[in-house]
Structure 1
């Protein structure tokens, strides 16, 4: 789920079922008789955008064509709305009956008049800011679900909340994660047959993944499908887990196992199946998970199909067996009809982190094809043409070799959560791709803790030194692309190179257009058939979210949330390149509009002026290891932060040993998100971290003075 260690890039550049439900016995209430219905969602007529992926198939394709390749240059800003959460914005707006519904960071919900931008209501679930330490990738949320007369939001602290569509008032509020769990929710709920489907995030925090279904009217839990087994000495909750337990060993269950369902959920009415993706196994390092021998660790890094009425297992396909690289399979799952070998087949299409594009039979899960959609993959030489199982490079098994492995792709993934789109007109899938190599090294001395990431790795070897040439090379090696992929031929048809990774999701339309925002602050339109750039709008901030489109009174609109943040900012920091300020807004465009954004406010430039360095080499080496493996996931690799979280090199506590202890050990800033780390680190270890950051601050101060700014 996370990116840790940029030295890799520099190195390359320079060199449950019905009889198994945990909550069996629930009875589903009657489906809503008005408002958003199953039939409306299935229709996907284009005027409204009623579900996260645009329709049940999650194609993110709109049949609207008023805005097209011949007139998109006339697109202008119709209205915008400033948001009150200065974190990453990842939601896709939904539109129904003239109202646009969005979520913002911290799981807040807002409803706007879709034509004028007037705010109708706002809801704040009051998520405790201390929850941030249990969230891998910023306090983000990807959107709401609509059904009947209700709006559904899943909150960062693990609740599923139903709101009245007209007023925003709470109808019901249900805790979905286990009490006291380190799980969180960042994904958008989905609707299937009168149920709300949601999983959770947290496969770096000793959690056990699941997908659960709740009655849309009452919030009653109807079934829960666990993705990894429980205690092998006890009966499993489901038959599918009896098979899975044979692929694990040791005391894995004490650490949860991972396999969380943090994003992709797709219901297909044609097959009457729900498909969902699962995250990495936990911990990442298999040596601390399968202690009695190797195993595939089912059902992690997989696509799983279940029956929506009962949660009964139907099939699974594991894309990355025994995942040790954080190759989640939580990316968007798209269902469609393709002509393969002269026959029309209902298929599942998937572009996960591991870099291979999979086409599977939607009814059976049978492997059809799997081809690379990015260059440079080095963890596997390819996929078996019959089974789809990867041919893993022995050097990639770092826990066996005892040596570092520079993986391509890395943990950010060749493609992560940023949604792809599929156009049935061109037959192409439009994928936001990343090139972010990763440093992996097993830690044989690792011991489980209680706070922060629990990976079983030592990534301190991925630190980037205070060397301008190395840093420039690192930034140059980290980039992305918009890729148009042919799923039948298994080939890239066109590609738009981008200077930074983690660019926004995509939208395809019948106007022969593909829309995408960039991490460097542009919202763009390309021709869907050739990739020619036709239009661009300066957003003043990075774009992570995917756009959507709708029509009111005969006019087509395109809407997108903008606001930089997410995993790349909080972990890669400024060393990752492509860092822009956070200016969180909702932008809505239409033809002929001429709206303007207010001038971007200048941000004060911070100058490094740390106290003199101190500490023994042994203390600093210890601090470097502890910082890299725990602190860097929020405060940036090599102590160079991004735009959102505090840069510790500039901290006023850096020269105040006692105050540093009060913040880190005692947690006096817990309500700001900086909780106490006294269950993970001793005071001596916390002091070692301070001495390491102090050393880094002084090195970067010298770099700034000697050869110009590199951070």
Structure 2
């Protein structure tokens, strides 16, 4: 009877997936893996494994795959979105939280929704004005916006049905992650830990928009009642007056759900500020930053937690992709959750109770020697906390792996990880003041509490000379905790992953190459250059009996704001491929590199040196190295004369704030701005004269 019932369920699911216009209910979401023709959730299913059972495209016929359609979204800046596909319609997001509904067969635009986020919020987003996608439920599309709103749209028309402000809009909260729908509730987190906020996760009724629960990830002011026993427990692991600095722990990306255990898993972010010496000077684990939390989705109550980086001081978030799987370990079948967080270790955790199973480094790590097998805690190196010296630490704040999704192939048993190799010189900033820019970064409060201190000794990494800054596609065996194979990329910051039952792995790169690899060996079987660096993960779906592979492309995000690795940057575009298709690639107008400006303003050597420091603090994060060519945002050393003629009005009076350029009038004096401009133009003129 059980077998017959399963066959009936599968048959119903198949019919449901083929019939257009059907509502997406809890049953359909729970059985998303049984409907490979659609891509219904961010990770493809609640396990978030990004594994497709579609089998038309294989290693044997992949060379017959060509372009089926390409749709220009008319956007600039980074695209990190996972397209969702349901009943022949694709839903994808672009910069500034815009939503597009496309015909999944032809790419024709059905509707577009612009939430009209104020350009002023661009400054509050640490890592570009990106959005990673939507959630689907019933006849609704849900999107979280950069300014902290959660909006429900009519799936057929794009008309807003309700909107709630999930954050305090006066603070530096943002939303870039995709919502998830679990048991009729829309789950959403937020970002902003660099800017001094307190993290939390919220659940809203999917039909009405009413808030059902809110769970904080770090404790607030202990003079006030704690919201839960979990917060009271967490407060014992903090010292000083952490609540004045926000605390951090923002849940800005990773989630997964086990419907059998009825547990919602959420990854939490870094401490605020990064340097624990400032936020919690007496030490402590600082729960629940950099942790995996298991929550009751009905109430938001914490069931268990596992902290990957206790008391973190390096921006080692645990917001990276979570994957649920059942693995045979030491002869026993275990329900596990897998993660490769920023800190460089690959974790396998028992998802029923949070028990540590294993962890091994998946990239070069020097902040810790290993993870203790008994306690599940990292064994830190004596220099990692940079308390008395500057230290070159691996991985960098960008992590050994960042938000770019992994994929797990149920047949090969391998996890495919977009890895990057980078380091940073960490140092204690003795003059730290919250919301006063110093060290690296810029903006309303980009002050992480770290900074090179020349009065202290420096500890270089002896192995650094042999470790190149680069990216890597890594195939990892989670059972043996060993590498199966890898493919190196010349540039870090490459796209997320998709794997299929036929033994393929798809990934895009910073150099614009969209590739299919053999899942067993890593051999490149197929590739197309899409002309622009790729950040987002691909998806695959089936319409009218044909399998398609689709990817949204738009360059930007952290490393792409001030640098590019393709000759030019095309507008945001969705590319979709299928067997037997051979449409020509779209041709976009060339964007020739601007010449170095020869405009000049009077500036002394002292003013130029001062301008150099201010440029690093306020400008470099977005505009990159002067004269290097820029990325998604312009190289100010190549800006036209009209920009430099209006430089003070742009920087101090908000002339371009609607486009996302901050107004620094309250932070930079007239002389500061002149010094910054003097530095930019001096560098440009020097380079132009060579």
Calculate the TM-score normalised by the size of structure 2: 0.90
Q: Does 1:360 align with 2:353?
A: no
- Distance in 1 separating the partners of 2:284 and 2:340: 24
Q: Aligned to 1:539, which of 501, 507, 530?
A: 530
- Distance in 1 separating the partners of 2:452 and 2:404: 26
> Cα distance, 1:172 vs. partner?
0.6
- Distance in 1 separating the partners of 2:268 and 2:567: 29
Q: Deviations over 1:334-387 (max 9, x none)?
A: 01100011000000000111110000000111110001111x211211111222
Match of 1:674? Answer: 661
Match of 1:662? Answer: 649
> Cα distance, 1:475 vs. partner?
14
Match of 1:308? Answer: 297
> Cα distance, 1:584 vs. partner?
1.4
Q: 1:618 to 1:315 in 2, by over 3 A?
A: farther
Match of 1:560? Answer: 551
Alignment of 1:66-81 (within 5 A): 66-81=56-71
Q: Does 1:421 align with 2:437?
A: no
Match of 1:203? Answer: 193
Q: Does 1:123 align with 2:81?
A: no
Q: Does 1:411 align with 2:397?
A: yes
Match of 1:583? Answer: 571
Q: Does the CA contact (< 8 Å) of 1:500 and 1:578 recur in 2?
A: no
Alignment partner of 2:195: what SS? coil
Q: Deviations over 1:243-277 (max 9, x none)?
A: 11122222221121111111111111122111111
> Cα distance, 1:185 vs. partner?
0.7
Q: Does 1:335 align with 2:353?
A: no
Q: Does the CA contact (< 8 Å) of 1:582 and 1:643 recur in 2?
A: no
Alignment partner of 1:686: what SS? helix
Q: Aligned to 2:335, which of 342, 346, 367?
A: 346
Match of 1:694? Answer: 681
Q: Does 1:508 align with 2:499?
A: yes
Match of 1:237? Answer: 227
Q: 1:448 to 1:639 in 2, by over 3 A?
A: farther
Alignment partner of 1:247: what SS? coil
- Distance in 2 separating the partners of 1:104 and 1:505: 16
User: Bigger CA drift: 432-441 or 623-632?
Assistant: 623-632
Alignment of 1:259-278 (within 5 A): 259-278=249-268
Q: Which one has more relative contact order, counting CA pairs under 8 Å at least 6 apart?
A: 1
- Distance in 1 separating the partners of 2:432 and 2:627: 22
Q: 1:620 to 1:316 in 2, by over 3 A?
A: farther
> Cα distance, 1:622 vs. partner?
3.6
Q: 1:622 to 1:256 in 2, by over 3 A?
A: same
Q: 1:118 to 1:529 in 2, by over 3 A?
A: same
Q: Aligned to 1:139, which of 129, 133, 143?
A: 129
- Distance in 2 separating the partners of 1:57 and 1:235: 36
Q: Does 1:320 align with 2:309?
A: yes
> Cα distance, 1:615 vs. partner?
4.2
Q: Aligned to 2:164, which of 166, 171, 174?
A: 174
Alignment partner of 1:694: what SS? helix
Q: Unaligned 5+ residue runs, structure 1?
A: 1-32, 462-472, 706-711
Match of 2:9? Answer: none
Match of 1:299? Answer: 288
Alignment of 1:217-256 (within 5 A): 217-256=207-246
Q: Does the CA contact (< 8 Å) of 1:127 and 1:155 recur in 2?
A: yes
> Cα distance, 1:311 vs. partner?
0.3
Q: Does 1:379 align with 2:363?
A: no
Q: Does the CA contact (< 8 Å) of 1:151 and 1:165 recur in 2?
A: yes
User: Bigger CA drift: 57-66 or 279-288?
Assistant: 279-288
Calculate the TM-score normalised by the size of structure 1: 0.88
User: Bigger CA drift: 521-530 or 617-626?
Assistant: 617-626
Q: Does 1:570 align with 2:561?
A: yes
- Distance in 1 separating the partners of 2:359 and 2:630: 35
> Cα distance, 1:641 vs. partner?
6.1
Match of 1:469? Answer: none
Q: Deviations over 1:660-691 (max 9, x none)?
A: 33322232221121222233334444344333
Query: How many equivalent pairs are there?
Result: 652
Q: Does the CA contact (< 8 Å) of 1:85 and 1:106 recur in 2?
A: no
Match of 1:629? Answer: 617
Match of 1:607? Answer: 595
- Distance in 1 separating the partners of 2:197 and 2:334: 37
Q: Does the CA contact (< 8 Å) of 2:388 and 2:428 recur in 1?
A: no
Match of 2:378? Answer: 390
- Distance in 2 separating the partners of 1:540 and 1:460: 42
Q: 1:592 to 1:656 in 2, by over 3 A?
A: closer
Root-mean-square deviation (CA, aligned residues, Å) is 2.3
Q: 1:287 to 1:653 in 2, by over 3 A?
A: farther
Alignment partner of 2:235: what SS? helix
- Distance in 2 separating the partners of 1:378 and 1:614: 46
Q: 1:661 to 1:284 in 2, by over 3 A?
A: same
Q: Does 1:440 align with 2:426?
A: yes
Alignment partner of 1:430: what SS? strand
- Distance in 2 separating the partners of 1:236 and 1:487: 38
Match of 1:648? Answer: 636
Match of 2:458? Answer: none
> Cα distance, 1:314 vs. partner?
1.0
Q: Deviations over 1:552-602 (max 9, x none)?
A: 22211111111111111125x35xx56852431101111000011123432
Alignment partner of 2:505: what SS? strand
- Distance in 2 separating the partners of 1:565 and 1:493: 31
Q: 1:365 to 1:642 in 2, by over 3 A?
A: farther
Q: Unaligned 5+ residue runs, structure 2?
A: 1-20, 437-443, 455-463
Alignment partner of 2:616: what SS? helix
Alignment partner of 2:472: what SS? strand
- Distance in 2 separating the partners of 1:106 and 1:477: 34
- Distance in 2 separating the partners of 1:625 and 1:419: 35
Q: 1:690 to 1:477 in 2, by over 3 A?
A: farther
- Distance in 2 separating the partners of 1:402 and 1:476: 22
Alignment partner of 1:230: what SS? coil
Q: Does the CA contact (< 8 Å) of 1:52 and 1:58 recur in 2?
A: yes
Q: Does the CA contact (< 8 Å) of 2:149 and 2:165 recur in 1?
A: yes
Q: Deviations over 1:308-334 (max 9, x none)?
A: 000001111111122221111111100
> Cα distance, 1:655 vs. partner?
9.8
Q: Does the CA contact (< 8 Å) of 1:352 and 1:416 recur in 2?
A: yes
User: Bigger CA drift: 92-101 or 675-684?
Assistant: 675-684
- Distance in 2 separating the partners of 1:250 and 1:620: 39
Q: 1:596 to 1:578 in 2, by over 3 A?
A: closer
Match of 1:486? Answer: 477
Q: Deviations over 1:11-30 (max 9, x none)?
A: xxxxxxxxxxxxxxxxxxxx
